[in-house]
């Protein structure tokens, strides 16, 4: 496992009351960080904080006022901000290909996409005050491939992977590393009724602890704009994107597209 020492640092985890977020908060605390846990479930956030220390904050990440207020609170109460895990997310809950519940769709985009943008924009000034830092966005393998069972969820995760790649390049020169973490299916409440189907065919699932371990690998070795994958029984690693078509039919390598060279 990659070594990471966060002693003296402060981390913020959104969607931290359960599942991946709670496991990540525990891992960050084990690595030495003081952790702020943000969740709509105030009691759940407090339970996590009671076990790891830090502060619990209740709030709706889809509200544009929440992330700036939370970052300000973290700096005021914990003194700084060094690591941000933008983890809050929900499932699509509808096909989105032949009918659309607009309110549910807007809620999905608000939590899965808008919150990530709000979170990055709120966190970057705080990270600049420390001379740099790390932002990791919890995406999904659905951000790298098509998941036909939930096209709208796939849409949101493709969006945040693209945002992480571009934001990572934009901020790399400031010592702020933005990257995405793209796990396969994880045994959390987000699976819903699909959990029984996976169990019936003995489909291997990641645990939240597996994803927290992958997060540690990203913090240790992740480069700006990377998307890291993790699957059951495997090691976390950076996904190798193909280059885009260039003039005359050739391909531009990813590093050129990302502005690294």
Q: Which residues are catalytic?
A: 153
Q: How far apart are CA 258 and CA 73, in angstroms?
A: 33
DSSP 103: H
Compute the radius of gyration of the chain from its Cα atoms.
18
User: What is d(CA 106, CA 185) in angstroms, rounded to the nearest whole number?
Assistant: 24
* 35 DSSP assignment: E
Taking the alpha carbons of 136, 141, 142, 146 in that order, is the dihedral positive or negative? positive
Query: What element of type H or E holds 190?
Result: none
Cα(113)–Cα(43) distance, rounded to whole angstroms? Answer: 25
Sheet of 83-86, strands arranged across: 55-58, 34-39, 10-14, 83-86, 133-138, 176-183, 227-230, 237-238
Rounded distance, CA 46 to CA 125, Å?
A: 27
- The answer to whether 168 and 258 are in contact (CB under 8 A) is yes
The whole-angstrom separation of Cα 111 and Cα 167 is 19
């Amino acid at each position: 496992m990659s070594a990471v020492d966060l002693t003296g640092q402060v981390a913020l985890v959104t969607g931290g009351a359960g599942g991946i977020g709670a496991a990540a908060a525990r891992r960050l605390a084990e690595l030495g960080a003081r952790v702020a846990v943000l969740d709509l479930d105030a009691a759940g956030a407090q339970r996590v904080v009671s076990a790891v220390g830090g502060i619990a904050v209740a709030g709706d990440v889809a509200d544009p006022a929440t992330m700036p207020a939370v970052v300000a609170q973290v700096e005021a109460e914990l003194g700084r901000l060094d690591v941000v895990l933008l983890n809050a997310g929900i499932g699509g809950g509808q096909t989105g290909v032949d009918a659309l519940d607009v309110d549910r769709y807007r809620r999905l985009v608000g939590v899965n996409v808008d919150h990530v943008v709000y979170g990055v924009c709120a966190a970057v000034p705080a990270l600049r005050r420390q001379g740099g830092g790390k932002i990791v966005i919890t995406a999904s393998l659905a951000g790298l491939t098509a998941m036909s069972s939930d096209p709208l969820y796939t849409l949101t995760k493709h969006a945040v992977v693209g945002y992480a790649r571009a934001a990572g390049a934009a901020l790399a020169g400031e010592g702020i590393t933005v990257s995405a973490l793209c796990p396969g299916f994880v045994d959390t409440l987000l699976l819903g009724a699909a959990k029984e189907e996976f169990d019936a065919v003995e489909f291997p699932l990641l645990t939240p602890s597996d994803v927290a371990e992958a997060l540690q690998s990203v913090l240790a070795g992740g480069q700006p704009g990377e998307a890291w994958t993790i699957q059951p029984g495997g090691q976390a690693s950076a996904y190798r994107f193909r280059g885009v078509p260039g003039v005359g039919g050739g391909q531009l390598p990813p590093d050129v597209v990302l502005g690294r060279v």
